[in-house]
Amino acid sequence: MDVQFLGGAGEVGRSAILVNDRLLLDYGILTATPPQYPVGDPDPEAVVVSHGHLDHVGAVPALLSGSSRPEIHWTPPTAELARILARDTLKLHGGTMQCPFTETHVARMGEVDHRHGYRESFEAAGHEITFYNAGHIPGSAHVLVDDGETRLLYTADFHTDDTRLLNGTTARPDADVVICESTYADVRHDDRDAVESRFAETARTTMWEGGTVVVPAFAIGRTQELLLVCEAHDLECYVDGMGTEVLSMCRQYPEFLRDGDALGRAARHAREVTGRDGQRKRIADQNTVIVTTSGMLSGGPAMTYIPEIRTDPINRISLTGYQVEGTPGRELLETGRCELNGGIYPVSAKADLFDFSAHADHDGLREFLGAYEGSTVLVNHGDSCAAFAEELRADGYEAQAPDLGKTVEC
Ligand SMILES: [Zn+2]
């Protein structure tokens, strides 16, 4: 089996892996200015998508240009998320050099759309493929690829712990080769229950004191998780931004959730913001929790709420995930200032980070790989892939961190 890394090698973003020159696993975007796309110019017979995050599925419509119509295989939630993300990319960058596809390409996805559940094997470009729950976001999958000689497990992004939204991964199918993500290979997460309690306690205190809590959250997975947390702790809340649309989508596929009824209760508990008639400014004056995109304060309705609440130290901004360097969220945590709608402003409201991560940490990755001691491990999707591969080699694994563009024969 030949495995070529067209993206996501030694980096987080633009994941793309070409197998035997005919089967593509993921085809993502690296969010930057300008955005970056996988290298090479693949023309695969089929594409298998692990999950509906921009860095794994964002560039898929571009594969449907000219007369190319590769089959696209994914779970139903991933198919829906791919459309939501493609529309968002068109809205942000459509018609510019920063967007490699048009409405026409997005519409074509319907012609080649093949949906599969977990543990239902199917054929794609001459390979037998099986999805397993990866516990990362709704519909996320580990992808097992069998070409008749070699069994390759592409972990893609995964979480070993249960969250309120999803069960953690438990499947460990036999594999000769494992391509393993390493986003948090050098991190140990705090205990989830402790993070959640601290989040709920600080939010409640802020509301008692007469303040507002703005909770920037990624649209996919994180918004829904935070609504579940709010419902469980009886925190009055609003939900705003793209996470609302994703919430409705998730509720249509309860079999891809840990507890569909719980998400239904959380959705009814939260009040949906339409944004009409100055509604956001009025809500920003209330003693309430507002769960809203974007998760790193780089756009979305958060850009209306933060300016409204920033000057009063009673208010609180509870960030809910890793803040990439250079984002306003990171700047806020490090400097107490924040770029908002083009200007830099001081923020007196309290700002904190709560690590509601959807990725396995160092110990989770090692626990997962404990099932693959005799397999070849190819480390990708991280900022320190080489260091993690070296750690694995020191512990007896056959492991390496391939460079961008490299082909590994396995
Ligand atoms: Zn992901």
The distance of Cα 399 from the centroid of its chain, to the nearest Å, equals 25
Report CA(210)–ligand 1 centroid distance (Å): 36
Report CA(53)–ligand 1 centroid distance (Å): 5
Q: For ligand 1, a single-atom ion, which residues have Cβ within 5 Å? A: 53, 157
Residue 383 in tokens: 């900022």
Report CA(381)–ligand 1 centroid distance (Å): 10
Report CA(315)–ligand 1 centroid distance (Å): 31
pLDDT at 374 over 90: yes
Residue 390 in tokens: 């070296």
Report CA(154)–ligand 1 centroid distance (Å): 13
pLDDT at 238 over 90: yes
Report CA(369)–ligand 1 centroid distance (Å): 19
Report CA(55)–ligand 1 centroid distance (Å): 7
Report CA(48)–ligand 1 centroid distance (Å): 15
Report CA(379)–ligand 1 centroid distance (Å): 16
pLDDT of residue 29: 96
Residue 237 in tokens: 């809340």
pLDDT of residue 156: 98
Report CA(207)–ligand 1 centroid distance (Å): 33
CA atoms within 13 A on the CB side of 25: 26
Q: Are 214 and 309 in contact (CB under 8 A)?
A: yes
Question: Measured between alpha carbons, how far is 184 from 293 in angstroms, rounded to an integer?
Answer: 23
pLDDT of residue 34: 85
pLDDT at 287 over 90: yes
Residue 33's pLDDT band (boundaries 50, 70, 90)? confident
pLDDT of residue 347: 98
Dump pLDDT digits (tens) for 341-369: 889 999 999 999 999 999 999 999 999 99
Report CA(310)–ligand 1 centroid distance (Å): 30
First-to-final CA distance of the chain: 5
pLDDT at 277 over 90: no
Q: Are 338 and 328 in contact (CB under 8 A)?
A: yes
Question: Measured between alpha carbons, how far is 379 from 131 in angstroms, rounded to an integer?
Answer: 20
Strand partners, 206: none
Question: Measured between alpha carbons, how far is 407 from 146 in angstroms, rounded to an integer?
Answer: 18
Mean pLDDT, the chain, integer: 97
pLDDT at 325 over 90: no
Arithmetic mean of pLDDT, 86-111:
94
Question: Measured between alpha carbons, how far is 252 from 264 in angstroms, rounded to an integer?
Answer: 10
Of 69, 77, 74, 75, the closest CA to residue 108 belongs to: 69
Q: Sort strands 213-216 and 2-7 into parallel, antiparallel or unpaired.
A: unpaired
The neighbour count for residue 308, using CB atoms within 10 Å, is: 17
Question: Where does residue 394 rank: exposed (0-12), middle (13-18), buried (19+ CB within 10 A)?
Answer: exposed
Report CA(121)–ligand 1 centroid distance (Å): 22
Dump pLDDT digits (tens) for 116-161: 999 999 999 999 999 999 999 999 999 999 999 999 999 999 999 9
Contacts 24+ apart (CB under 8 A), 83-86: 83/109, 84/52, 84/242, 84/245, 84/246, 84/249, 85/52, 85/53, 85/54, 85/57, 85/58, 86/58, 86/60, 86/61
Report CA(175)–ligand 1 centroid distance (Å): 22
pLDDT of residue 341: 85
pLDDT at 295 over 90: yes
pLDDT of residue 97: 84
pTM of the model: 0.96
Report CA(284)–ligand 1 centroid distance (Å): 31
The most distant pair of C-alpha atoms in the chain lies apart, rounded to whole Å, by 64
